[in-house]
Amino acid sequence: SVYDIFGLLAAGGTLVMPDPEAAKDPAHWVELMTTHQVTLWNTVPALMQMLVEYLSEHPDQVTENLRLALLSGDWIPLNLPTQIQSLWPQGQVVSLGGATEASIWSVYYPITTVEPEWKSIPYGKPLVNQSLHVLNHNLDPCPNSVPGQLYIGGIGLAQGYWRNEQKTNASFILHPQTGERLYKTGDLARYLPDGNTEFLGREDFQVKISGYRIELGEIEATLLGHATVKETVVAAVGELQSKKLVAYVVFHSESSDSATEDIHDDIRIDELRHYLQQQLPEYMVPQSYMVLDALPLTANGKVDRKRLPTPELIGDRHSSDTYIPPRNHQELQLVKLWQEILEVQPIGVRSNFFDLGGHSLLAVRLMNRIEQDFGRSLPLATLFQAATIEQLAASLQQEQSVTSLSPLVPIQTQGTQPPIFCVHPAGGTVFCYLELSQLLGADQPFYGLQSLGQQEGQAPLTTVEEMATAYLAAIRDIQPQGPYLLMGWSFGGMIALQMAHDLLSQGEQIAFLGLLDTYAPAYMPDEQSLSEDVEVVLELFGGPLALDWEALRELPSEQQAALIWEQARQANLVPPDLEAAQIERLLQLMKLNHKAMRSYSPPAYPGTITLLRASSGLVAVSEAESIVDPTLGWQAVTSSPVQVYTIPGYHEYMVHQPTVTIVAETIKASIEKALNAEA
């Protein structure tokens, strides 16, 4: 409050303070504003929202003197600036931001218009003699649109915390390149193309559910876009793998009849869920909803998340799950196993593994337990075709030879569009493509191609040419004739190119060949193998680990597995009953794929290559080498111009948020263009 008091007094202004007993009464505020001809308002957004709502019901009490509204300390609802400007057309609305450690205010943004596509009000630009930095984990600047840690610098920076050297050293750092002293805010942000910064919320508010990183603020902004929603907060409730999204909603009042209010709430929640399903990926749609009369606030007027009620996540009247109990002994065994691994109960026989929080690491654990408890070894990819207890029980009843297992994994089989066939990266599995398949839409069939050799007794393939031959035989069972849509991320792009070459030589048509940041072998940087290791860890654990990758690659494979497992346990990413031996086979497969990648010599390809290239290179090294050839070496392989799309972000995150959303949009547009050309 130092600036709030002395900044105003130093400018010759007068402070008007509400009476303590009426501090949260908008009628009292309006009375003071009229009496003292108040020209400047300075509060958190929630209090201004209360004032606006009061004056909208009492338009005759609107004063004409207010010229400036300063809003700070919390998210500004997207509709609030417009409401303010409708009451005071000549008034200016300014967003302020910063931290106590940097003399309170470091950034400002004058709000003149609110664009329809905005998810939040921009954070803005730094004040004079202050600086804002969005940096990655290596303290390198993030490219535009790529999220990173927000740091503040400048003359307003505090010296540290009083008599707390440990906390000071953890929060105040020296920039390794410029030597500038910076404060690590603990917030996430990203640069916008116009030079402003977008605030993405506390790092604590970025949660991971079902292996996906989710910005709660983005869901809240989407909810506020619905006409019935007055206020909302979204929270991740639960522990570890059982976390669920809960939306707390305050609706605009429609009826004073309390007897019908519950019915109205049920109808509005159903409408709201349907609205979110149209606007957001399925994993970002809350599973539960709680209707509140008002959001709890702190004494400072901010939303008090600690006072939000905790719902019963499964089985409440606003839950999207329909519970069907187990009907035989095998289903009962599987239900108990799922409840133990997913840490959710009760689980019905038609509950979806991925909707309940399942991801690749939990799939490894589940299949290991199924082998122990049922004596059957099932491929990890079984969960794509049998994602419910009912379907999994049926799969256990079927006899299947290990040697006959197909590399083809149906991820999304519905839709009228020609199917996309997407080849695995070096890790060999295709769990990483689940989100991409969802973002491509319900009308787009999507099949993954996984490495053979994941199951005991099944021989792995050791060359790109062998893989292409096996994968082509599998996809012809689904689509006997072209035109074909092929793509792959990283190593998968090489195999996709070889498949496309072989199909053309057989007289087939290729409508789309997409390489997701795949380097041509002759152009591949030395760090690419390290990057492939990062991909595997991302795929298994849903996030990166702080590992010395160069040192890791010098170790024998069994020691590599042990080190990765130990680091993952320390990061609380691994359940205590999962052993390193269970990923030994996957790591061996990864090594074989690395060898195949390094020894591959691509043939001349006469068709069109579409390359989606990551703007920031590899995150596995401290600084990405500058790229001279924007085609990553592929122009030397094809006689046609390579179509290059630069995607903001890192190589390792091409199929992870936030990059995968842009990747999906680019792929959809490219395929639509290619199919129209074919027609």
How is residue 308 annotated by DSSP?
S
Question: Does 454 share its domain with 524?
Answer: yes
Report residue 146 as tokens. Answer: 């790529």
For residue 621, the model assigns a pLDDT of: 40
Judgement on whether residues 340 and 468 belong to the same structural domain of the protein: no
Q: Per DSSP, what are the bridge partners of residue 423?
A: 449, 488
pLDDT given at position 259: 44
Q: Is the dihedral of CA 537, 538, 542, 548 positive or negative?
A: positive
Asked if 300 and 361 sit in the same domain, the reply is: no
Contacts of 677 (CB under 8 A, 6+ apart): none
**CA gap 239, 436 in Å, rounded:** 26
Say if residue 561 is in the same domain as residue 446.
Answer: yes
Rounded-to-integer distance, Cα 513 and Cα 499, Å: 10
Domain endpoint, select from 307, 341, 361: 307
In 3-state terms, what secondary structure has residue 558?
Answer: helix
Tokens of 548: 């010395």
Biggest distance spanned by C-alpha atoms of the chain: 86
Q: Tell me the CATH number at 648.
A: 3.40.50.1820
Outline where 135-175 has alpha helix (H).
165-171
Query: Distance of alpha carbon 51 from its chain centroid, rounded?
Result: 35
Residue that finishes a domain, picked among 381, 400, 419: 400
Does residue 160 lie in a domain region?
Answer: no
Are 583 and 638 within one domain? yes
Helices (H), 440-548: 464-476, 491-505, 528-541
Q: Is 7 exposed, middle or buried (0-12, 13-18, 19+ CB in 10 A)?
A: middle
- 553 with 529, same domain: the answer is yes
* Spatial contact of 174 and 135, defined as CB atoms under 8 Å apart: no
Q: Is residue 610 part of a domain?
A: yes
Residue 234 pairs in a beta bridge with 247
Find, among 483, 523, 493, the residue nearest to 612 by Cα: 493
In whole numbers, what is the pLDDT of the chain averaged over residues?
Answer: 82
- Are 261 and 253 spatial neighbours (Cβ–Cβ below 8 Å)? no
- Please answer whether residues 95 and 108 qualify as being in contact, where contact means their C-beta atoms are separated by less than 8 angstroms: yes
Select from 463, 470, 417 the least CA-distant residue to 444: 417
Q: In CATH, what number is assigned to the domain containing residue 356?
A: 1.10.1200.10
Which residue pairs from 334-339 have beta carbons closer than 8 angstroms and sit at least 24 positions apart in sequence? 334/389, 334/392, 334/393, 335/389, 337/366, 337/369, 337/370, 337/373, 338/366, 338/389
Gap between the Cα atoms of 336 and 333, Å rounded: 5
Same domain, 341 and 242: no
Q: Are residues 252 and 333 in the same domain?
A: no
The pLDDT of residue 329 is 76
Q: Are strands 288-291 and 244-251 parallel, antiparallel or unpaired?
A: parallel
Domain count, the chain: 4
Count the Cβ atoms, other than its own, within 10 Å of residue 369. 17
In a domain, 151, yes or no: no
Residues 87 and 234 in one domain: no
Residue 118, in any domain of the structure: no
Residue 102 lies in a domain: no
474 and 425 together in one domain? yes
- Which residue ranges of the chain lie beneath pLDDT 70? 203-213, 238-243, 254-264, 300, 311-323, 345, 360-361, 399-405, 456, 525-584, 617-628, 679
132 within domain boundaries: no
478, 614: one domain = yes
d(CA 329, CA 397) in angstroms, rounded, equals 13
633 and 502 inside one domain:
yes
pLDDT at residue number 454:
75
- What are the structure tokens assigned to 669, written together? 């547009």
CA dist 673 → 485, 511, 512, 667, 678 (Å): 12, 10, 10, 10, 9
Instruction: Pull the structure tokens for residue 412.
Output: 């999304």
Residue 600 lies in a domain: yes
pLDDT of 633 reads 92
Polymer length of the chain: 679
Expressed as residue numbers, the domain containing 522 is 406-678
Dihedral of CA 650/654/657/663: which sign?
positive
Domain boundary among 372, 400, 428: 400
CA distances 418 to 17, 413, 482, 650, Å, are 66, 11, 9, 29
The pair of structure tokens assigned to 305 is 């998340």
Residue 46 is assigned to a structural domain of this protein? yes
Structure tokens at 57: 């019901």
Q: From CA 188, how far away is CA 329, in angstroms rounded? A: 48
